Every structure is written in C-alpha cells, then in structure tokens.
Structure 1
Amino acid sequence: MAAELLLYTTVGCHLCEQAEAVLHAVADTHSGLTWRPVEISDAPALVAAYGLRIPVIRLSGQDADLGWPFDEAAVRRYLTQVQG
C-alpha cells in the first residue's frame, strides 16, 4: 500500500535539510513510501501548529506526527505504529 509522508518545513531550516536526508534514506528502503515537503509559511494555521516544532513528519490521513529529532529507525517505528 502506498503511503505519503508530509514533511512540515520552511525555507532556511537546516534541521529540515537533515530531516530530508533521513526521509530519502527511508523511502529508498521502504516500498511504496513517498514524501513531500509542506511549506508552513504559506498558511498561518500551519505556522501556529508547527512553527516551533519543525521539522515534523506526519503520514497523510493520520493525526499522529513525529517531531525532530528523528532518525531512520524512529521514522520506521512511527510508520509501523500509525499504519497498524
């Protein structure tokens, strides 16, 4: 089953760049997983929700998210938990 991770991010966020590297590595080894960045500065609600926490990932369609810091193992655990 295909899954899409959302990476809440903003321009100039060096931690977000590190998170992107982690997601590239996970997606390369996790069949059907894709991810895309979501620019939080485009929506005040996203700034309010994630502005102090970015980078944050959330599996599309799920409420639970995972905030930084995370590594490949943490992302895999998160995916296992939210996908059941």
Structure 2
Amino acid sequence: MADLTLFQRDYCHLCDQALAVMAEARAPDFDSVWVDDSPTLESRYGTRVPVLRDNLSGRELDWPFDAARLLEFLRD
C-alpha cells in the first residue's frame, strides 16, 4: 500500500486534471480508489473528488490544487 491514495470517479475530468497536476509535481507513487465502487466511500467523498489522502497522517487535500499546493501538502 502506498503512502498516498487518490480518491476519484470513473469518467471524471477533474480527476484527470488532478492526475496531470500530480505528474507535473512528480508526486510519489499513490494508490487510486474509485468511490463509485463503495457506498461508504461514495457517501464520504462523492461530492469532493478528487481527494488526495496521506495515509500516514490522515490528512486530505481536496480539489482544486495546483503543483505548488500539492508540494506544500506533501512537505507538511
């Protein structure tokens, strides 16, 4: 399991943008979880996706974020 998880949806243009920002920032490896597959995750993240979660600290970064904000989140 990676230290980061990106919660996303199928066919989500915002999720595609988040992936591009993560590539631009050269974010470390992460797991992808699709909230559509789980009623619990859908309830928690459905209107917030994409959301990047730091699995070690429990902190979450909601969209929108840019490369600078992502790097700041990763440093904290």
- TM-score, length-normalised on structure 1? 0.80
Match of 2:45 in 1: 50
| 1:22 aligned onto 2:21 | yes
**Residues 23 and 35, structure 1, Cα contact 8 Å, conserved in 2:** no
Match for 2:61: what amino acid?
A: L
What is the CA–CA distance in structure 2 between the aligned matches of 1:22 and 1:43, rounded to whole Å?
26
What is the CA–CA distance in structure 1 between the aligned matches of 2:25 and 2:4, rounded to whole Å?
11
Tell me the SS of whatever aligns to 1:53.
Answer: coil
* Consecutive aligned runs of 4 or more in structure 1 exceeding 2 Å deviation: none
Aligned pairs (5 A) from 1:51-70: 51-70=46-65
The count of aligned residue pairs is 75
Match of 1:80 in 2: 75
Percent of aligned positions with the same letter in both sequences?
37
| CA drift at 1:60 | 2.1
| CA drift at 1:4 | 3.2
Match for 1:6: what amino acid?
A: T
RMSD: 1.4
What is the CA–CA distance in structure 1 between the aligned matches of 2:40 and 2:12, rounded to whole Å?
19
Gaps of 5+ in 1: none
Once the two structures are superposed, residues 10-49 of structure 1 have per-residue CA deviations (whole angstroms, 9 ceiling, x without a partner) of 111110000000111222xx5xx21232111111111111
Gaps of 5+ in 2: none
